A and B are shown apart, each in its own frame.
Chain A
Amino acid sequence: MNAGTQMVKLTYREAAREGLRDALARDPRVFLMGEDVGHYGGCFAVSKGLLQEFGPERVRDTPLSELAFTGMGIGAAMGGMRPIVEIMTVNFSLLALDQILNNAATLLHMSGGQFNVPLVIRMATGAGKQLAAQHAHSLEGWYAHIPGIRVVAPATLADVRGMLWTALEDPDPVLIFENNTLYTMEGELVVDAGPVDIDHARVLREGGDVSIITYSASLHKSLAAAETLAVEGISAEVIDLRTLRPLDDATIMGSVARTHRALIVDEGWRSGSISAEISARITEQVFYELDAPVERLCSAEVPIPYARHMEQAAIPQAESIVATVKRMVQSHG
Chain B
Amino acid sequence: MKNKTKQTAKVDRDHGLRLLRKMLLIRRFEAKSAELYSAMKIRGFLHLYDGEEAVAVGVMEALTPEDAVVATYREHGQALARGVNANAIMAEMYGKKEGCCRGRGGSMHLFDAAARFYGGNAIVGGGLPLALGFALADAMQGKKRVTCCFFGDGATAEGVFYESLNLAALWRLPVLFILENNLYAMGTAICYAHAVADIAPKAASHGVQTEIVDGMDVLAVEKGARRGAEFVREGNGPYFIECRTYRFRAHSMFDAELYRTRAEVDKWRKRDPIASFFDLCREQAVLSDADLEELERDVAAEVDGAVAFAEAGTWEPVEELTRYVYSERRPR
A residues apposed to B, CB below 8 Å = 35-36, 38-41, 43, 45, 61-68, 91-92, 95, 129-135, 300-303, 305-310, 313-314
A63-B194, A129-B44 known; A134+B103 contact, CB < 8 A: no
Least Cβ–Cβ distance between B280 and chain A, in angstroms: 35
B residues apposed to A, CB below 8 Å = 43-45, 95-96, 103-106, 108-109, 121-126, 154-155, 157-159, 185-189, 192-194, 251, 254-256, 258-259, 315-316, 318, 321-322, 324-325
**Chain B residue at minimal CB-CB distance from A305:** B104
Mind listing 24 A-B residue pairs with CB under 8 Å?
A38-B188, A40-B187, A41-B187, A63-B154, A63-B157, A63-B185, A64-B125, A64-B185, A66-B158, A95-B123, A132-B104, A132-B108, A132-B109, A133-B104, A134-B123, A135-B45, A135-B122, A302-B321, A303-B325, A305-B103, A306-B104, A306-B105, A306-B109, A307-B106
A95 CA to B194 CA in the complex, in Å? 19
Task: State whether A301 touches B322 (Cβ < 8 A).
Answer: yes
Task: State whether A64 touches B124 (Cβ < 8 A).
Answer: yes
Give the interface SS of chain A, mostly helix, strand, loop or mixed: loop
Chain A residues with CB under 8 A of B256: 41, 45
Chain A residues with CB under 8 A of B125: 64
Task: State whether B159 touches A65 (Cβ < 8 A).
Answer: yes
Chain B residues with CB under 8 A of A40: 186-188, 251, 255, 258-259
A38 CA to B122 CA in the complex, in Å? 22
Chain B residues with CB under 8 A of A62: 193
Task: State whether B186 touches A35 (Cβ < 8 A).
Answer: yes
Chain A residues with CB under 8 A of B194: 63
A92-B123, A134-B108 known; A313+B192 contact, CB < 8 A: no
A43-B186, A132-B122 known; A313+B321 contact, CB < 8 A: yes
A68 CA to B162 CA in the complex, in Å? 13
Task: State whether B318 touches A306 (Cβ < 8 A).
Answer: no
The A/B interface has a contact count, at CB < 8 Å, of 125
Task: State whether B321 touches A36 (Cβ < 8 A).
Answer: no
A314 CA to B325 CA in the complex, in Å? 13
Chain B residues with CB under 8 A of A309: 95, 315, 318
Chain B residues with CB under 8 A of A64: 124-125, 154-155, 157-158, 185, 193
Least Cβ–Cβ distance between B306 and chain A, in angstroms: 17
A300 CA to B103 CA in the complex, in Å? 17
A40 CA to B108 CA in the complex, in Å? 21
A67 CA to B160 CA in the complex, in Å? 10
Least Cβ–Cβ distance between A131 and chain B, in angstroms: 5
Task: State whether B322 touches A302 (Cβ < 8 A).
Answer: yes
Least Cβ–Cβ distance between A141 and chain B, in angstroms: 18
Partner of B321, one of A43, A67, A131, A314: A314
A306 CA to B123 CA in the complex, in Å? 16
**Chain A residue at minimal CB-CB distance from B44:** A130
Chain B residues with CB under 8 A of A310: 95, 103-104, 316, 318, 321
Chain B residues with CB under 8 A of A63: 154, 157, 185, 188, 192-194
A306-B95, A306-B103 known; A133+B188 contact, CB < 8 A: no
Chain B residues with CB under 8 A of A135: 45, 108, 122
